[in-house]
Amino acid sequence: MRQAEARVTLRAPLLLLGLWVLLTPVQCSQGHPSWHYASSEVVIPRKETHHGKDLQFLGWLSYSLHFGGQRHIIHMRRKHLLWPRHLLVTTQDDQGALQMDDPYIPPDCYYLSYLEEVPLSMVTVDMCCGGLRGIMKLDDLAYEIKPLQDSHRLEHVVSQIVAEPNATGPTFRDGDNEETDPLFSEANDSMNPRISNSLYSSHRGNIKGHVQCSNSYCRVDDNITTCSKEVVQMFSLIDSIVQNIDLRYYIYLLTIYNNCDPAPVNDYRVQSAMFTYFRTTFFDTFRVHSPTLLIKEAPHECNYEPQRYSFCTHLGLLHIGTLGRHYLLVAVVTAQTLMGSTGEKYCYCCRSDCRLTPGSICHIGECCTNCSYSPPGTLCRPIQNICDLPEYCHGTTVTCPANFYTQDGTPCTEEGYCYHGNCTDRNVRCKVFFGVSAEEAPEVCYDINLESYRFGHCTRQQTALNNQAFAGIDKFCGRLQCTNVTHLPRLQEHVSFHHSVRGGFQCFGLDEHRATDTTDVGYVIDGTPCVHGNFCNNTRCNATITSLGYDCRPEKCSHRGVCNNRRNCHCHIGWDPPLCLRRGAGGSVNSGPPPKRTRSVKQSQQSVMYLRVVFGRIYTFIIALPFGMATNV
């Protein structure tokens, strides 16, 4: 079975949004689940000098301990949990004002681990207090490990954690089974994320977190240092969990309200007093990604279940309860456009319920400026290359006209022509990638495309990991090959180049890392001539140039324009469509009205003043010259 893969870049807001959608139908619990220790046993971890069947890697520690009826080996790797190495901690003074504090929080004693020969196991522990303290998960079992108090033999207690037999889990509300969100329905399947193969994953996402401890939570231990350590341990576990989805959680700022809460903590609306306090006090200064408020009380899940289809309301705040132990407040604040899509941009033309403010006509679009339609003639899509044409706003809608380009077959160089808005000259593309001296490689370099590997192939299946090569003339439609490269190209991330020597010629090409958001530009583009009379079509040299049906003679546009992809004239500046016969602004009947350009020459008063001064001095010199000569005589 082959693993399917597609391009996707996971980021924290999208993950939180997906979590919001997944947990909405099952968030209401009718009881309070609880947990207990099923069994406990005393163990003595022993440090392993070897890694069993695994290879030894630098920076890893291994411990052997016996629990659950068998011996396990834990492999541990240190992880960075704090964004700055020295955690920023703010507390309150006697008057409730914020102040910087300095509790002792070790920065480098947290570990992400796994159990040897236990697939999908996860162990998150810390060694900040001289022993192993944390949670171990293997299969469907969960264990807690912590040092045995007052032990002189490094003994630890391992306890199995289970739920109460009569604990009530999440239940569906009436109608939730039949109710579906149209935004995420099967009809809108294009929005479903497709997670790529981990071997080809893109950059890891990072969350810069701000943890706030309410006054009730702080008073559980009534000690700032103890509270700080518990919070760090809690979010170390959270960080270990989210690493499974290629995400890291870093604690950037810790705030402890040890005196009093600055605002009511039981109001979770977006515009609540607590939210306003956070935004004005912390967000504008530290720009954290995800604030979290810890409270002691455990509100009933039904009271804080977000309404369905309400991304744009203040109810987009979700409580996640895990067996009654910890409650994490996840703030999912999204913006919903008028057409039903979602995003992260803040809309200045919209109210908090995602409706337009009074006087606003629009809030988004290529032709929307300052909440109103852009003036006619505003450039909304600039020219990308020699085969592209500009588009302008009409002044009556937010949408930019469709993308227009020169008619397929229009010459762009001596060896290439335009096809779907691109110039198909191989020399031009080589110069774009490798500099002005680069040019198309000879035929022998294209033999690389017969080898079916990363840098040499004709096509690559999107749902498989193998490359495919075609024989014969189809090799000219695979990876583009260039030569005469004098310097290394500056490429975007995840894009690399190869260099090989074939038949005495230097061959260069490009490749992109799969499952990333980069566009693979290393292929020979469709429309590129491959042999005489044929051009490449979908990595095959099987299309004929005559099939383009190019019929745009210079006389059609009066020698004052070119034909676009709808075979209409796009007139040069100074001539009006449709046939470029009369004086005008230019453009076409399809691309919107271009701005009217009028030329006027205004007299510069400054130049006139300078001339007057110069000529005045010349006249003065001429008049003074005879008097000077007479005086000398």
Per mean pLDDT, which range of 147-151, 350-354, 366-370 is the poorest? 350-354
With 80 as the cut, is the pLDDT of residue 310 above it?
Answer: no
Residue 566's pLDDT is 93
Residue 518's pLDDT is 64
Per mean pLDDT, which range of 129-138, 435-444, 553-562 is the poorest? 129-138
Split at pLDDT 50, 70, 90, the class of 301 is very low
As a whole number of angstroms, the distance between CA 560 and CA 577 comes to: 10
Split at pLDDT 50, 70, 90, the class of 320 is very low
With 60 as the cut, is the pLDDT of residue 433 above it?
Answer: yes
CA distance readout (Å), 516 to 96, 206, 494: 48, 17, 7
With 50 as the cut, is the pLDDT of residue 483 above it?
Answer: yes
- Which helix (H) or strand (E) covers residue 231, if one does? helix 224-242
With 70 as the cut, is the pLDDT of residue 344 above it?
Answer: no
Split at pLDDT 50, 70, 90, the class of 603 is low
Residue 32's pLDDT is 46
**Contact by Cβ (8 Å): 543, 531:** no
Residue 430's pLDDT is 92
| pLDDT > 70 in the chain, percent | 72
Residue 446's pLDDT is 92
How is 6-71 classified by DSSP, letter by letter? ------HHHHHHHHHHHHGGG---SS---EEEEEEEEE--EE-SS-TTSPP-TTEEEEEEEETTEE
Split at pLDDT 50, 70, 90, the class of 176 is very low
Domain boundaries, the chain: 12-172+202-331, 418-548
Residue 151's pLDDT is 84
As a whole number of angstroms, the distance between CA 547 and CA 509 comes to: 30
Burial-class residue 50 by CB neighbours within 10 Å (0-12, 13-18, 19+). exposed
How much is the pTM? 0.49
As a whole number of angstroms, the distance between CA 232 and CA 129 comes to: 13
Nearest-Å Rg of the Cα atoms of the chain is 35
Read off the pLDDT of each residue in 90-96 and give the average, rounded to a whole number. Answer: 89
Read off the pLDDT of each residue in 221-243 and give the average, rounded to a whole number. Answer: 87
Higher-confidence residue: 19 or 65?
65
Exposure on the CB side of residue 94, measured as CA atoms within 13 A: 0
With 70 as the cut, is the pLDDT of residue 326 above it?
Answer: no
Residue 222's pLDDT is 83
| Range list of β-strands (E), 383-493 | 391-392, 418-419, 422-423, 439-440, 459-460, 467-468, 482-483
Read off the pLDDT of each residue in 175-195 and give the average, rounded to a whole number. Answer: 43
With 70 as the cut, is the pLDDT of residue 24 above it?
Answer: no
With 90 as the cut, is the pLDDT of residue 379 above it?
Answer: yes
Higher-confidence residue: 571 or 288?
571
Residue 321's pLDDT is 37
Residue 589's pLDDT is 92
Read off the pLDDT of each residue in 42-60 and give the average, rounded to a whole number. Answer: 70
pLDDT digits (tens, 9 = 90+) for 451-472: 877 777 777 766 556 777 787 8
Residue 428's pLDDT is 92
| Range list of β-strands (E), 262-411 | 290-294, 317-322, 326-331, 335-336, 342-343, 368-369, 372-373, 379-381, 391-392
How is 193-226 classified by DSSP, letter by letter? --PPPGGG--PPEEEEEEEEE-HHHHTTTT-HHH
Read off the pLDDT of each residue in 544-573 and give the average, rounded to a whole number. Answer: 93
Cis peptide bond prior to 578, omega within 30° of 0: yes
Type of residue numbered 326: H
Residue 319's pLDDT is 40
Per mean pLDDT, which range of 27-36, 105-114, 276-285, 398-407 is the poorest? 27-36
Residue 309's pLDDT is 44
Residue position matching structure tokens 């009947």: 589
Read off the pLDDT of each residue in 516-530 and give the average, rounded to a whole number. Answer: 82
As a whole number of angstroms, the distance between CA 633 and CA 629 comes to: 6
As a whole number of angstroms, the distance between CA 579 and CA 557 comes to: 5
Residue 17 phi, psi dihedral angles, 5° rounding: -65, -40
Residue 87's pLDDT is 83
Residue 513's pLDDT is 65
Q: Any idea of the CA torsion for 426, 431, 434, 436, to the nearest 10 degrees?
A: 150
Residue 445's pLDDT is 93
pLDDT digits (tens, 9 = 90+) for 246-274: 788 899 999 999 989 998 887 655 567 88
Residue 150's pLDDT is 84
Type of residue numbered 573: I
pLDDT digits (tens, 9 = 90+) for 610-620: 777 777 778 77
